[in-house]
Amino acid sequence: MAPEGVSLFERHPPHFSTAVYKQILYALATGYITECNTRTNAGTDRTLSPETILEQLKKLTHGFSSSQLSRSGRESLQCIADVLGSLIADDWHRYRPLKADWPGLRARLLQSSPLAARPPLLEAFTSWLFWDDEPAMVALHRNLNQARNAIQHQTRGLPIACSHEVAALLLDIDTHKRMVQHDAATMARVAGIQAVEINERCCLGATIGLPVFRSPDEFGCWQALIWELTLPVNHVTIPSTSPARALFEAADLLDFPGVALAQPGGVRPRVGDLSAHELFTTIVKRGKTASMVATRSRELGIDGFSILLRLAKPPAQPDQLIAGLRAWHTALDFPTLPQDGSLPLNVILTFASSLINAVHFNVQGGHPPLPQQFNSIIQMLDQLGEYTRPASVHFFTVTYPRFPDGLVTCSQLNAVNAASLLAENELFQERFGRNSESLTAMAKSGHSATGDGGTDYLLRSLAAQAQGSQLRGRLLAKAANQVARLNDLLTRALPPQGAADSLMRQHVENWSKAIRTSISTYRERFPGEDAAAHISLRLRQLLNVDPEDLEPIPLQCAQKNVTPYLQLQFDRWRQVRQRDALQWAELGLPDAATVARLLGYLSRAAIARAGLVKWLRNNLGHISSDNEARHARRFLAMQMAEVVCFGLNGRATHRPFASSPQEPDFNASTIQPRLHAYALRERRDLDERVDMESPHYFGFVEPFLSRLQQLHEENHSPYTAQPGDVELTELVSSIAS
């Protein structure tokens, strides 16, 4: 006989997923910096720098040698790096100084073997990095991870479903508070929740099974750990004429819990001043909301965004909303919000009946229609900056006439007239655009308690946005780009023999041709300029190595293996150029993958065959102070650029002076004939000058092309077979086919 309540779980019950370790970290770190007073005793904002993080790593791991790494330790360290990267991308003040140096810092962090091998060190670093070793946060972090492990054990890792009653209790953030206050009705409802396995799911409800919650804090941990709760809707139960049905047929709705309001008086509490319940409702809930928006956005799980703002009330912590919106459009490859409204961002003003009522009141009294309230609305929207500009945003107004605050108090005719006056007002149009349909729809149906208050128009508009979604095309384009990057990565990882070696030569040859073509193209576009001079400048900018992008020289490295250090510096240089990939298209580098690939060839050749390891040991191997190590980066940067541009032998030596007069000659081995030839070239008309005779071509472009030719022809050193070579070759072949 089936247990009581089984029928609740036979078809499509609510179900939820719990947060993984990385999501817990992200939520707690976000909640801490957005909801708590994290200032120092001196009243200054706390910020982190690469130097302070590396110093803390050195301090924690001092005296510990590298140990046998565990998979869990390595994965935990990876999670910490991922969360730190997300917080940097969110542009929080605390982590902003890390942005410029993040690729190198991430690499250094992931290379910390003692940290990954020792859980206590890892926990100590996590606590220092994300919440300043605050005892309350340390305990909360530990309790949530223990609770997560307990849930995994209790549910045996099965998908978790629940009844609608349980879903309501879990969604109500005050359930835990009422339990702490020993509310008898709430305690009884929670105590009646039991777990039973049905259809390979762990189902929570009023079933015959095992009790789930033994204490208020256990229930609170479950609430805190729920990452996403899904409520299936059978759209056929909704009338076919309902705009809600059209929306449910076109899209999934993802409702994030409300972002936190600003703290009373603008003063955030110290985390130690919060009660156990407030830790859940303030740190966890609000941090989880902010981090969920950013996480879902980066997972490309959000097509359109709608922000609901109650009229004349300030938006809940604008910085949290802005961070989520920025993560959303950045993940869709829009660094800034498009100014043509192509991304579906909607700002929905709720309880907007008060605006109609105020306009009608002013007109009846013989006053200008725009109410004083309008200024406060503008001030409210201005807090969200570019995310409320009419060119970028779709505005809607709705009200809820079944509530007293949501009722339009004048007749339908007067309400429509008020809406028309408002929509025609220049100040209104300047701030909200010329779309008056939503305002009119609200006015028509907001005067009766049974009216929809403009929500039907809103739902139809959202359904139309969903039906015209461009997300699929964007996802396909990103997928194609990711596949190309994967192919490139695998190809570069292949053993340097056969096809892979041939492919490298083809890439180098194509780039050489593209550089020559770029000179001709620039000449056609700008016939009055020296095309070779321009391309020479752009190449030097591409190949320049900025000392500030490098890490300090290793101390006393004359007898050390400095190859990993050099590899990392070239990686950092290459990553900087990748971030600016769009700048290098005119040099035959159309995308970031091409930039990484070709600069990677030059980097590897510089380390393997240009004597850079020996040069570093001989010239900078005896540095013993940190300041000197930072200063010496400029010497390494110059040498790196030298071998990248000109190879093993470096730049050609200066030519001698001619001992006797000679005829002008661009190819002369002495100085005067060349200078004479350059001078004669400058006297020609612009359209008669040959770019290949430009001193800029002879001085840099031609030597660099010779370096590429040298790279193309170099005999590569014998290769020793490595484990996985065969499998990697087969994998690349299978992808290609």
What is the pLDDT at residue 715? 52
What is the pLDDT at residue 668? 66
Check: CB of residue 67 under 8 Å from CB of residue 20.
no
Instruction: Grade residue 631 by pLDDT with cuts at 50, 70 and 90.
Output: very high
Residue 114 pLDDT > 70, yes or no?
Answer: yes
Mind listing the pLDDT tens digit for each residue in 492-549?
677 665 545 666 788 888 999 999 999 888 888 888 788 888 999 999 999 999 999 8
Distance CA 639, CA 153 (A): 57
What is the pLDDT at residue 632? 92
CB count, 10 Å around CB of 189?
18
Burial tier of 291 (Cβ tally within 10 Å: 0-12, 13-18, 19+): buried
Q: What is the pTM of this model?
A: 0.66
Among 575, 628, 598, smallest CA distance to 707 is for 598
Residue 387 pLDDT > 70, yes or no?
Answer: yes
| Most trustworthy range by pLDDT among 66-70, 187-191, 203-207 | 187-191
Distance CA 147, CA 236 (A): 39
What is the pLDDT at residue 282? 84
Q: Is 396 helix (H, G, I), strand (E, B) or coil?
A: strand
Residue type, 379: Q
Residue 4 pLDDT > 50, yes or no?
Answer: no
Secondary structure (DSSP) of 276-288: HHHIIIIIIHHHH
Residue 719 pLDDT > 60, yes or no?
Answer: no
Which helix (H) or strand (E) segment holds residue 350: the answer is strand 345-350
Tokens of 430: 């300047």
Which helix (H) or strand (E) segment holds residue 313: the answer is none
Distance CA 652, CA 121 (A): 52
CB count, 10 Å around CB of 698?
18
Distance CA 270, CA 139 (A): 15
What is the pLDDT at residue 669? 65
Instruction: Report CA-CA distances (Å) from 336 to 385, 536, 576, 613, 684.
Output: 12, 32, 20, 42, 47
Question: Mean pLDDT over residues 34-63, rounded?
Answer: 86
Compute the C-alpha angle 88/92/98, nearest 5°.
40
**Per-domain residue ranges for the chain?**
302-469, 498-651+690-713
Mind listing the pLDDT tens digit for each residue in 445-503?
998 889 999 999 999 999 999 998 888 888 888 888 888 788 777 776 776 655 456 66
The larger pLDDT score, comparing residue 254 to residue 610, is at 254
| Most trustworthy range by pLDDT among 324-328, 344-348, 587-591, 698-702 | 344-348
Check: CB of residue 160 under 8 Å from CB of residue 167.
no
Residue 619 pLDDT > 80, yes or no?
Answer: yes
Check: CB of residue 533 under 8 Å from CB of residue 526.
no
Residue 413 pLDDT > 90, yes or no?
Answer: yes
Instruction: Grade residue 65 by pLDDT with cuts at 50, 70 and 90.
Output: low
The larger pLDDT score, comparing residue 457 to residue 581, is at 457
Give first-to-last CA distance, the chain, whole Å: 54
Question: Mean pLDDT over residues 605-629, rounded?
Answer: 87
Question: Per DSSP, what are the bridge partners of residue 293?
Answer: none
Mind listing the pLDDT tens digit for each residue in 161-175?
999 999 999 999 889
Residue 314 pLDDT > 70, yes or no?
Answer: no
Question: Mean pLDDT over residues 4-15, rounded?
Answer: 66
Tokens of 535: 């391309």
Mind listing the pLDDT tens digit for each residue in 202-241?
999 887 788 899 899 899 999 999 999 999 988 788 998 9
The size of the chain, in residues, is 737
Q: Using CA atoms of 394, 397, 402, 404 in order, give the dihedral in degrees to the nearest 10.
A: 140
Instruction: Grade residue 107 by pLDDT with cuts at 50, 70 and 90.
Output: confident
What is the pLDDT at residue 68? 63
Residue 659 pLDDT > 80, yes or no?
Answer: no
Side-chain half-sphere CA neighbours of 669 within 13 A: 1
Distance CA 421, CA 145 (A): 57
Q: What is the mean pLDDT of the chain?
A: 84
What DSSP designation does 697 have? I
What is the pLDDT at residue 185? 94
Instruction: Grade residue 1 by pLDDT with cuts at 50, 70 and 90.
Output: very low
What is the pLDDT at residue 264? 47
Q: Which residues fall within 8 angstroms of residue 655, CB to CB, at 6 or more apart?
A: 669, 670, 671, 674
Residue 263 pLDDT > 60, yes or no?
Answer: no
